Amino acid sequence: MDYYNQVFDSFGASPDSWTHQTYEQCTFKNLDLAGALLFNSNFINCHFESCDLTKIQVKNARFDDVSFADCKLNYVDFGHCNPFGFHTDFQNCQLNNTVFLNRKLKKAKFMECSLKSAQFLKCDLTGTHFKECNFDSARFEDNTLIQVDFSSSYNLELDPDTNRIKKARFSLHNLPGLLTKHDLVISP
């Protein structure tokens, strides 16, 4: 079934199943969808606000121009999504233990997010902006990090030898995280 320009919230009716559906220009508010199956569903120009999406299953789901604000997306593996048109933005979200594998995240926005133990593997993050994000124990490996802005984020550790970095922005407090593999002691 297709849904267009609808609002789904905790007070209204929800679909019987979240799989094999198409949602276009829909808004999802204050929903507890923790562990929900979103297999083969399409989310196009949609907005999620204050939803619990912890451990959602997204096999072959399509997220095309989808924004998340004040949501919990812990333990979500976006590597299982349909890569076609994949574009997401996150504002004040929990993305702890989330996986981005083989995703094109060009010019994505991660604003004030918790990305503890998140994994960015083989992603194209060209032009992505990470504003005030917590990267405690996050992993970056084999990514394209051209013109990425990490300047206001913290707890960042990444190996420049295992990522393609060019014109990325870092602050002085990020520099020790770029040198971790060398086991150097940096004094203020």
Domain boundaries, the chain: 1-73, 95-188
Beta strand residue intervals within the chain, DSSP E: 2-4, 7-9, 22-24, 27-29, 42-44, 47-49, 62-69, 87-91, 99-101, 109-111, 119-121, 129-131, 139-141, 144-146, 164-166
Q: Among 2.30.29.30, 2.160.20.80, 3.90.1010.10, 3.30.230.70, what is the CATH number of 1-73?
A: 2.160.20.80
Residues paired with 72 in a beta bridge: 52, 94
Helical (H) or strand (E) element with 177: helix 175-178
Asked if 1-73 and 95-188 have one fold, the answer is yes
Over residues 19-32, the mean pLDDT reads 96
So what's the pLDDT on residue 15?
Answer: 85
Burial of 7 (C-beta count, 10 Å sphere; 0-12/13-18/19+):
exposed
What pLDDT digit, counting tens, does each position of 135-161 carry?
999 999 999 999 999 999 999 999 889
Domain over 95-188 is classified CATH 2.160.20.80: yes
Instruction: Map residue 68 onto helix, strand or coil.
Output: strand
Q: Does the pLDDT of residue 2 top 70, yes or no?
A: yes
> Are the CB atoms for 115 and 135 separated by under 8 Å?
yes
Between 129 and 16, name the one with better pLDDT: 129
* 69-78 burial: b if 16+ Cβ within 10 Å, else e: bbbbbbbbbb
**What's phi and psi for 162, nearest 5 deg?**
-110, 10
The model's confidence at residue 184, banded by pLDDT at 50, 70 and 90, is: very low
H runs (alpha helix) in 8-115: none
**How many of the other CB atoms lie within 10 Å of CB of 167?**
10
- The conformation of residue 104, written as its DSSP 8-state character, comes to B
So what's the pLDDT on residue 183?
Answer: 55
> Are the CB atoms for 61 and 41 separated by under 8 Å?
yes
pTM as predicted: 0.91
The dihedral sign for the CA sequence 121, 142, 110, 86? negative
